[in-house]
Chain A
Amino acid sequence: MEQHSPEPTVPRSHLLPRSPKTWLWIAWFLIAWAALQFPGWQVANRVEPFVFGLPFMFFWALLWWLLLVISIVILARRNDESADGRHVENPMSEEGRR
């Protein structure tokens, strides 16, 4: 973990994630988004079979939507010490957590 110094120094770049886990999270979100919308719908774009009475495309979209919502909740829970405001840190960063 980088030590904070009172004198302003040039901070490291925030443009790229700093840990492998963060890369995995980003990859997962991109995959889920691609599956839900583009190019995922081209694979799932059909009415049959009906699943739970839903046309397949709608079921597919709801499924990935639900997975994404659950992912966001997990992301938040992993960071719950900041969710109640005790710390302020980037949830994508593993380096700030000890």
Chain B
Amino acid sequence: MSQLAFTVIMLVLVYLLVIIGIGFVGWRKLRVNVDDFYVASRQLGVLVVFLTIAATYHSAFAVLTSTAVAVTNGVAWFVGAAVWTLLAALTSWFVGTRYWQLGKRFGYVTLADLVADFYRSTVIRVVIAVVMAIFVIPYLAVQSVAFGLILDIGTEGWISYELGAGVLTVVAIAYCVAAGQRGAAWTDVLQGIWMYIVVWLVGLVVVYNAIGSPATLFREVNELNPDLLGVPGEGFSSPLALFSSTVLFGIALVIGLQHIQMKFYTARDAGTIKLSSVWMAVYLSSIYIPPVLTGLAAFVLIERGVLPPVNEIEEQYGTADAILPLMAIEFAPMVLVGLLFAGAVAAASSTKDNFLLATAVVLTRDLYQKVLRPNTSERQMVVVSRWVIVVFGLLGYAVALQRPGLIFDLVALSVAGVLQFTPAIFTILYPGGRTRVWLTSAGAVAGIVVGVVVTMALVFPNWFGLTIDPNPFDLHGGLWGLAANLVVGAVVSLFTRQPPAEAVLRIHGYMEEANYGQPVERPKTVSD
């Protein structure tokens, strides 16, 4: 085994031991009831809420893939990503606060709890839970792919892709099963700090060692390919493509996907969510600055012949994600390379664990408890959740063994699925000033179903026998789905029954009281 492989394995082991230690402490603190296992008794403070949302939002994509994307998109990458990450922070501020208020008041732990309470409908609960569970699979697989890849490259093949993905998946499953939401949130704190430091440190060290100062780098890129220093306005950076990414990653990812949505219930108060959102504005967007530099540096190194061309890297490793690790191995001290690999593992597992946990909560709460076994005990629900975590963890691993490519596209697909919930979410969270709402339960269900079908048809036209380009006019299939969703939802709502006035008045009335009226009762805070 080479010295590099040894360093990487040691640092990843240190990381795993610390994570297991945190998981163990979380497990000792766990009280086996739904509120504690699912939403950490709604007692988390600013630091934990901020870092758990941030680390969950950013996966291995931020650490590894972003550099690969910047090789071909250059500065345009930041122009796009800065907008959607800042919007994500504002979305968290406005929508997240309302989630917290309603969750605290009415005891919700899932998104479907909220929607089903407003519409008094089990059908919509089941539809939302099923869409969530299906669309989460590509996202889960992506993180397992990252696990496998990181150890494969980092140990120069000494730990195989399959073994690496397997070991790290088992660890993520273990601390979720043991410690629930608190375990996931606490480990996120370490993972969030680790990945942020690593992205900046490795990025700057690699650029200085390989090329020189950023100014030198920009001058050199300007001579080789000035297009990378501007926004070409086509492909990734065409206006409608950027608009799509902004809606998907700035709004839908935060309010629709269960792994982040549930985090809003864990805060100790609404102020915690607001302050966390401010920190998120800085964290989520600034982590994408170093990848612009490393991406451009990689471009220069490829032109100089120091690195193989992107397509050769893809051929050898199955994905262009290997670019940053390869640069680090060449141009950074060995300890830093080890930290990078452990940081990438942290980034992937902080997303994966939360997905496992949130999906388990959704399936246990929305299908098992509310539909299959209404009289189940809380202890029994925690047991079922733990089994769902194991099953979904292994499912993600199984898909990862097929080595799916195109991480960005897979993530966009997951988000496009849950984007279809947004009409119902906004109808509930933002009162329209009347008891009558524009979207009924049947309208919402019809809209979600049509939206999901249109999304799939336009993202994978060949599956449906269509001979059109995916994502027509550069607008993502998910947004076409949303348009169809809104039209169908509005039309169906004209002819179907309104949600009960009691529920509308109660929930909208509480939104008025909590956001414009008297201060709501502040919960007792317990240090966490």
Most buried by B among A8, A9, A46, A91: A8
A12 / chain B contacts, CB cutoff of 8 Å: 431, 433, 512, 516
- Determine whether B30 belongs to the interface, using a CB cutoff of 8 Å to chain A: no
Contact yes or no, A69 B231, CB < 8 A: no
Contact yes or no, B518 A4, CB < 8 A: yes
Contact yes or no, A91 B292, CB < 8 A: no
Contact yes or no, A88 B101, CB < 8 A: yes
Q: A15-B430, A55-B229, A79-B274 are in contact. Are A90 and B516 (CB under 8 A)?
A: yes
For this complex, 22 residue pairs linking A to B, each with C-beta atoms less than 8 Å apart, are A2-B516, A4-B517, A4-B518, A10-B433, A10-B508, A11-B509, A12-B431, A14-B432, A14-B511, A15-B431, A15-B432, A29-B90, A37-B80, A42-B233, A68-B281, A69-B282, A72-B89, A82-B271, A83-B274, A83-B275, A88-B269, A91-B93
Q: A36-B79, A37-B80, A68-B86 are in contact. Are A82 and B270 (CB under 8 A)?
A: yes
Interface residue from B90, B226, B243, B520 paired with A47 (Cβ < 8 Å): B226
Contact yes or no, B242 A38, CB < 8 A: yes
- Determine whether A24 belongs to the interface, using a CB cutoff of 8 Å to chain B: no
A47 to B219 Cα, complex, angstroms:
10
Contact yes or no, B270 A88, CB < 8 A: yes
Within 8 A of B (CB), among A1-43: 1-2, 4, 8-15, 18, 29, 33, 36-39, 41-42
A83 to B271 Cα, complex, angstroms:
4
A62 to B272 Cα, complex, angstroms:
28
Interface residue from A39, A41, A72, A73 paired with B79 (Cβ < 8 Å): A41
A contacts, CB < 8 Å to B:
1-2, 4, 8-15, 18, 29, 33, 36-39, 41-42, 45-47, 50, 53-55, 57-58, 61-62, 65, 68-69, 72-73, 76, 79, 82-93, 95-96
A84 to B268 Cα, complex, angstroms:
11
Contact yes or no, A50 B215, CB < 8 A: yes
B525 / chain A contacts, CB cutoff of 8 Å: 85
A51 to B272 Cα, complex, angstroms:
38
**Which single residue of chain A is at the shortest CB-CB distance from B285?**
A65
**Which single residue of chain A is at the shortest CB-CB distance from B85?**
A65
Most buried by B among A38, A86, A90: A38
Contact yes or no, B271 A10, CB < 8 A: no
Contact yes or no, A10 B274, CB < 8 A: no
Size bracket of the B interface: 35 or more
A45 / chain B contacts, CB cutoff of 8 Å: 230-231, 233
A4 to B511 Cα, complex, angstroms:
12
A89 / chain B contacts, CB cutoff of 8 Å: 515-516, 519
A11 / chain B contacts, CB cutoff of 8 Å: 431, 433, 508-509, 511-512
Residues 502-528 of chain B: 1 if any A CB is under 8 Å from the residue's CB, otherwise 0?
Answer: 000110110111111111101001000
Q: A36-B79, A37-B80 are in contact. Are A72 and B272 (CB under 8 A)?
A: no
- Closest Cβ of chain B to A74, distance in Å, is 10
- Determine whether B186 belongs to the interface, using a CB cutoff of 8 Å to chain A: no
- Closest Cβ of chain A to B98, distance in Å, is 9
Q: A14-B433, A68-B82 are known contacts; what are 16 more A-B pairs with Cβ within 8 Å?
A: A2-B517, A9-B505, A10-B508, A11-B431, A11-B433, A50-B219, A54-B215, A61-B79, A62-B78, A65-B285, A69-B281, A83-B275, A87-B271, A88-B519, A93-B516, A95-B516
**Which single residue of chain A is at the shortest CB-CB distance from B100?**
A88
Most buried by A among B214, B271, B511, B512: B271
Interface residue from B219, B282, B508, B515 paired with A90 (Cβ < 8 Å): B515
B231 / chain A contacts, CB cutoff of 8 Å: 41, 45, 57
A36 / chain B contacts, CB cutoff of 8 Å: 79, 82-83
Interface residue from A42, A61, A86, A92 paired with B519 (Cβ < 8 Å): A86
- Closest Cβ of chain A to B255, distance in Å, is 16
Contact yes or no, A88 B97, CB < 8 A: yes
- Closest Cβ of chain B to A86, distance in Å, is 7
- Determine whether B369 belongs to the interface, using a CB cutoff of 8 Å to chain A: no
A61 to B286 Cα, complex, angstroms:
12
A3 to B270 Cα, complex, angstroms:
22
- Determine whether B160 belongs to the interface, using a CB cutoff of 8 Å to chain A: no
- Closest Cβ of chain B to A83, distance in Å, is 5
Contact yes or no, B274 A57, CB < 8 A: no
Q: A4-B518, A46-B230, A86-B519 are in contact. Are A53 and B433 (CB under 8 A)?
A: no
Q: A50-B215, A73-B278 are in contact. Are A93 and B435 (CB under 8 A)?
A: no
A15 / chain B contacts, CB cutoff of 8 Å: 430-433
Contact yes or no, B239 A38, CB < 8 A: yes
